[in-house]
Amino acid sequence: MKTPLKNSVTASIMLLAIGAWAAESTKLPKLVDLGADKCIPCKMMAPILKELKTGYAGRMEVEFIDVWKNPGAGKPYKIKLIPTQIFFDAFGKERFRHEGFFGKEDILAKWKELGVDLKGKAGSGIVRETPVAADTRLRDTICFMCDGNIDPKTKVVVKGQAEQRLLCSPHCYFIYFSSIVGTDPKAEEAKVSVTDWTSDKMAPATSASYLYGMDAKGRPTVKAFADKDAATKEQQTSPGNLVTWEVLRSKELAARCAFCDRAVYPEDACGVKFGATHGYGCCTHCAMGVAARLGQDIEVEAKDGLTGEPIRVKTLDGQIASLEPASAIAWFGQLKDPSGKWVSAGCFKQGFFVNEANLQKWLDARPAMTGRQITVAQALADKMKLSPEQIAKACKLGECK
């Protein structure tokens, strides 16, 4: 399908000096599509260009020029028809041009035929299969859930048959609680002890009193007390409400990941919008999974794992429709399971970054972390290929693969 170019544009193009554009240089191969938003084949090109722009961010530049709205920008390319796609290599040299609609696979095949390697940059993405430095922390100082250091003032212990699970805080306990399947909640809670804030001794969780406050970021702070009077005394110097275990539980379980159903604090979570509803993903990858779980288009508002800068992703029919900034990338934290297979390292080890430099800095501070850099499109694709059964088991302890 082809649409003749408007006469005025053609005429002025004829007069244009050759090579006016050639001075511009670029380090990446570049695809320029010249069209108009009202031409039908051009409209068909639009989603393809979007996919290429986001899916090949950092590997290829994709530019759309509307030659009806902006004839001046189209002139240097001396096109005869719209849409026209022009392929420039990394040195800015025109290698090929195509007139009319051109499919995504055909575009990628053409780059390959031209000998332009679009995988090169992605292949050099960060991969860390072995830790830069071993994690030398003692096992009983590490939170079973988040892998963070356990604060002895807020430690929670869950007694198991063979071993006990240590958690850094009541919040991590409720994340754990929302990640277990097939256990009777009451029986589970009977196994839990919390650290008494005053004496640092362990006390049964269900009969303790909790001073529930808030830090400067809006995250709840939870202090446990075996003795209610001690809690009342602490409340005088440290504001908060005294609540029972039941109230604490209902507050902690109120906000959930819309993909894996884990308890989240909204302050830590990734925002997800689906239809008119706002929800949370407990991590960036879970947020993408909401599109798979609900079968809906979603908008994700993530924060750069290092700087907190916003990263916005919109999906359309299970694919990326837009990514801001286009340079944003994902880190897929992985571990080798006992059989040597790479598996997800869990929600606490995932993240999005506005660029590779930020990811590298984040990794530099986490020498024990292993995994690989992937595209945001890949993070979505990984979730879209899950079956409903796999989604139901996602992030559940012992079930997540």
* DSSP letters for 366-379: -TT--EEEEEHHHH
Query: Residue 43 Cβ, how far from Zn ion at the closest point, in Å?
Result: 36
Cβ closest to Zn ion, residue 69 vs residue 278: 278
Cβ closest to Zn ion, residue 129 vs residue 140: 140
Q: Which amino acid is at 40?
A: I
Q: Is 172 in the site for Zn ion (CB under 5 A)?
A: yes
Which among 8, 9, 5, 6 is positioned nearest to 75, based on CA atoms? 9
Cβ closest to Zn ion, residue 75 vs residue 262: 262
Q: Is 255 in the site for Zn ion (CB under 5 A)?
A: no
Peptide bond into 325 cis (omega under 30): yes
d(CA 307, CA 353) in angstroms, rounded, equals 8
**Catalytic pick among 42, 168, 172, 283:** 42
Pseudo-torsion of CA 289, 295, 301, 304, nearest 10°?
A: 20
Which token pair is 11?
Answer: 């005429």
Site stretch for Zn ion (CB under 5 A), options 61-69, 144-152, 153-161, 183-191? 144-152
d(CA 363, CA 306) in angstroms, rounded, equals 9
Cβ closest to Zn ion, residue 42 vs residue 145: 145
Q: Is 146 in the site for Zn ion (CB under 5 A)?
A: yes
Q: Is 158 in the site for Zn ion (CB under 5 A)?
A: no
Q: Is 257 in the site for Zn ion (CB under 5 A)?
A: yes
Q: Is 156 in the site for Zn ion (CB under 5 A)?
A: no
Q: Is 282 in the site for Zn ion (CB under 5 A)?
A: yes
Cβ closest to Zn ion, residue 45 vs residue 257: 257
Q: Is 260 in the site for Zn ion (CB under 5 A)?
A: yes
Per-residue binding letters, 88-127, with Zn ion (x by CB under 5 A): ----------------------------------------
Radius of gyration of the chain from Cα atoms? Answer: 27
Site stretch for Zn ion (CB under 5 A), options 42-50, 194-202, 233-241, 253-261? 253-261
257 assigned to active site: no
How far CA 282 is from CA of 10, 64, 335, 336, 348, in Å, comes to 54, 36, 19, 23, 9
Helical residues (DSSP H) of 39-158, grouped into ranges: 40-55, 71-74, 104-113, 120-123
**Catalytic pick among 39, 168, 347, 395:** 39
d(CA 325, CA 332) in angstroms, rounded, equals 19
Q: Is 145 in the site for Zn ion (CB under 5 A)?
A: yes
Of 42, 116, 143, 311, the one binding Zn ion by CB under 5 A: 143
Cβ closest to Zn ion, residue 56 vs residue 259: 259
d(CA 268, CA 313) in angstroms, rounded, equals 18
Site stretch for Zn ion (CB under 5 A), options 62-70, 127-135, 208-216, 275-283? 275-283
Query: Residue 186 Cβ, how far from Zn ion at the closest point, in Å?
Result: 23
Of 42, 166, 226, 286, the one binding Zn ion by CB under 5 A: 286
Query: Residue 196 Cβ, how far from Zn ion at the closest point, in Å?
Result: 19
286 assigned to active site: no
CB under 8 A, 24+ apart: contacts of 136-143: 140/166, 142/166, 143/167, 143/168, 143/169, 143/172
Q: Is 36 in the site for Zn ion (CB under 5 A)?
A: no
Site stretch for Zn ion (CB under 5 A), options 30-38, 170-178, 233-241, 367-375? 170-178
Count the site residues for Zn ion by CB under 5 A: 12
Which token pair is 96?
Answer: 């090929």
d(CA 189, CA 177) in angstroms, rounded, equals 9
d(CA 20, CA 61) in angstroms, rounded, equals 20
Pseudo-torsion of CA 12, 18, 24, 26, nearest 10°?
A: 110
Q: Is 288 in the site for Zn ion (CB under 5 A)?
A: no
**Residue ranges that bind Zn ion, judged by CB under 5 A:** 143, 145-146, 148, 168, 172, 257, 259-260, 262, 282, 286
- Catalogue the active-site residues: 39, 42
